[in-house]
Amino acid sequence: MSEETKLPIPYARIGIENSELGTTSDENGVFSIDLSKSNKGQNIKIEVGGFKPYLNSVESFLLENNKTFYLADRIFNIEQVVLIPKKLVSKNWGINSKTKKIQFIYNPQKNLQDISKELALPFATEKRTKIEKININFAHFESDRPIFIRYNVYDENWNSVLSEDISTVMTTEQIKDGEFSYDISSKNLWVENIFYVSFQILNSFKGSIAVSGTVFKPAFYRKNFGEWERTPTVSPALNIDVKVIK
């Protein structure tokens, strides 16, 4: 739950630190996790973008009487700056493929691991850049319910730079010409140097969806809190609309 609002946090990621063992809370923030085979000296982690992660040993976690966990908002110390108007140039970076021949397929009815996988693309810029929109191209989309999707932005060391959660609900009607576009311009999210943009589909559903892809482009994935690994061959069709300081 949010420490500030006392409201449930939907689809939080819960798991063993640096491990693929984990789960996701439901839309009401409720979860269950089997820790019977876990080392009690390991750490369990609860993480959502925009909140300080909860971290505790498995042993202490199991001994807690109160099974309601509160996450505090992440606070970034922002230095005071003098804003000087500068020209911004609009660009689109990433993978724009809309092919149906190369796909990342999600079908949680057949494979529950599908909703534990986070996919990320690397980017680099020498100039300060504001992310305006995150776009994903779909080759196929069939679901009996709205899809909850969460985005994250990481620095070159895979530390999240978000000061608030970036997530939304995706429906068939919102996909235009095979593309789902999410406007985050109001988040005022600036990046520089090497950074990564990720997405994760978090709720189960009946049906299947497929993200278009391409080959021989760098991309990364991880399951729960496991190590980031490079995708073997295929990269998802994720791209971003940005404004770059000229």
Per-residue pLDDT tens listing for the chain (246 residues): 888 888 888 888 898 999 888 888 888 889 888 888 888 889 999 988 778 888 989 998 888 766 888 888 876 554 444 445 678 999 999 999 999 998 888 887 776 566 678 999 999 999 999 999 999 999 999 999 999 999 999 999 999 999 888 999 999 999 999 999 999 999 999 999 999 999 999 888 898 899 999 998 999 999 989 999 999 889 999 999 999 998
Residue type, 21: L
Cβ-count burial of 191 within 10 angstroms (0-12 exposed, 13-18 middle, 19+ buried)?
A: buried
Distance (Å, whole) CA 78 – CA 48: 21
φ, ψ for residue 153, nearest 5 deg: -130, 125
pLDDT digits (tens, 9 = 90+) for 142-188: 999 999 999 999 999 999 999 888 999 999 999 999 999 999 999 99
Q: What is the DSSP letter of 127?
A: E
Look at residues 9, 143, 15 and name the one whose alpha carbon lies nearest to residue 71.
9
Sheet holding 13-16, edge to edge: 22-24, 13-16, 43-47, 54-57
The DSSP result for 167-235, as a single string, is EEEE-GGG-BTTEEEEE-GGG--EEEEEEEEEEEE-S--SEEEEEEEEESS--EEEETTSPPEE-SSEE
